[in-house]
Amino acid sequence: MIDYIKQSPIIPLVLSFLVVVLVMMQSLVKKRFQLIKLLISFFLVFGSAMVLFFYKEIQGIENDTYKILIFSGMLAIDVLDIILIFLSVDLSFTNETFQKELIKSLDETKLYVMLDKKERIKDISKYLLDELGISESDALRHNFFDIIETKYRIIGLNGEGALKKDVKKYYSNYAMKASSEKTTMELEIEDDYAVKSAMYFYEHSIFRSEKYAGRILIGDIKGEESLLGLERKEAEARNELDLIRNRFTTVIMNSSDGIFFNTLNTDTVWVNSVLVKKLYLNSNTLTGTDFFKMMHPDDVKMYQEKIANLNDEDYNISYRFYIGSQYVYVKEEGHKIITNKTIELCGIMHVMDDYGYEKTGTKLDNIKTEADLYAKLQKMHQEDRTYMLIEMRIASIPTINEKFGRAVGNMCLAEYVGRINEEFVNDDMIYRVGGLNFVALITQYNNMERLKSNLRNDEKILHANLTYGREKVSIDVNMGICMSDEAGAPKDVVRFAHEALQYCSNPKFTSSFLFHKDMRS
End-to-end Cα distance, the chain? 134
* Residue bearing the bigger pLDDT, 95 or 426: 426
Strand order across the beta sheet in which 196-208 lies? 121-124, 111-116, 211-222, 196-208, 183-190, 153-157, 160-161
Per-position b or e across 339-371, b if 16+ CB within 10 A of its CB: eeeebbbebbbebeeebeeeebebbbeebbbbb
Most confident of 26-30, 145-149, 334-338, 343-347: 145-149
User: Hey, which residues does 348 pair with through a beta bridge?
Assistant: 259, 333
Tell which residue, 55, 326, 131, 106, has the closest CA to residue 216. Answer: 106
Instruction: Tell me the pTM.
Output: 0.40
Which is it for strands 388-394 and 268-271: parallel, antiparallel or unpaired? unpaired
Secondary structure (DSSP) of 242-258 = HHHHHHHHHHHHH-SSE
Q: Which one, of 321, 325, 323, 286, lies nearest residue 303 by Cα?
A: 321
Look at the domain 363-520 and name its fold. Answer: Alpha-Beta Plaits (3.30.70)
- Mean pLDDT is lowest, of 29-33, 200-204, 328-332, for 29-33
**Distance, CA of 126 to CA of 31 (rounded, Å):** 11
For 413-463, the three-class secondary structure string (H helix, E strand, C coil) is HHHHHHHHHHHHCCCCCEEECCCCEEEEEECCHHHHHHHHHHHHCCCHHHE
> pLDDT tens digits for 260-295?
889 888 889 988 888 888 888 888 899 988 999 989
Q: For the domain made up of 256-352, give the CATH fold.
A: Beta-Lactamase (3.30.450)
Structure confidence by residue, pLDDT tens digits, 445-492 = 999 999 999 888 877 788 888 775 556 788 899 999 999 998 888 999
Residues 166 and 229: their CA atoms lie apart, in Å, by 27
For residue range 173-220, list pLDDT tens digits in order.
888 888 777 788 889 998 888 888 888 888 888 887 678 888 888 888
- Least trusted range by pLDDT, from 42-46, 200-204, 336-340: 42-46
- Over pLDDT 70: what percentage of the chain? 77
Nearest Cα to 464, choosing from 455, 477, 452?
Answer: 477
- Give the SS3 label for residue 478: strand
Q: Where are the domains of the chain?
A: 2-104, 107-222, 256-352, 363-520
pLDDT: which is higher, 60 or 129:
129
Strands 285-287 and 268-271, bridge-based pairing: antiparallel
* Range 334-358 average pLDDT: 75
- pLDDT number for residue 273: 84
Instruction: Look over the chain and give the mean of its residue pLDDT values, rounded to a whole number.
Output: 79
User: Confidence class of residue 91 from pLDDT cuts 50, 70 and 90?
Assistant: very low
Give domain 107-222's CATH superfamily.
PAS domain (3.30.450.20)
Q: Which helix (H) or strand (E) holds 386?
A: none
* CB 19, CB 44: distance < 8 Å: yes
- Do residues 319 and 330 touch, judged by C-beta distance below 8 A? yes
What torsion, rounded to 10 degrees, do the Cα atoms 85, 86, 92, 94 define?
160
**Whether pLDDT at 43 is above 50:** yes
Which of residues 166 and 435 earns the better pLDDT score? Answer: 166
- Beta-sheet strand order (sheet of 285-287): 285-287, 268-271, 258-263, 342-352, 327-339, 314-322
pLDDT given for residue 216 in this prediction: 86
With 90 as the cut, is the pLDDT of residue 444 above it?
yes
Is there a shared CATH topology between the 107-222 domain and the 363-520 domain? no
- Mean pLDDT for 334-349 is 84
> Cα separations (Å) of 511 from 220, 459, 477?
93, 8, 11
Helix 445-456 and helix 406-424: axis angle, to 10°? Answer: 130
Q: How many angstroms from the chain centroid is the CA of residue 13?
A: 69
Residue 391 pLDDT > 90 = yes
Residues 101-157: tens digit of each pLDDT: 545 555 445 678 888 888 999 888 888 888 888 988 899 999 999 999 999 999 999
Q: What's the rounded Cα separation, in Å, for the pair 119 and 128? A: 16
Q: Which H/E stretch holds residue 391?
A: strand 388-394
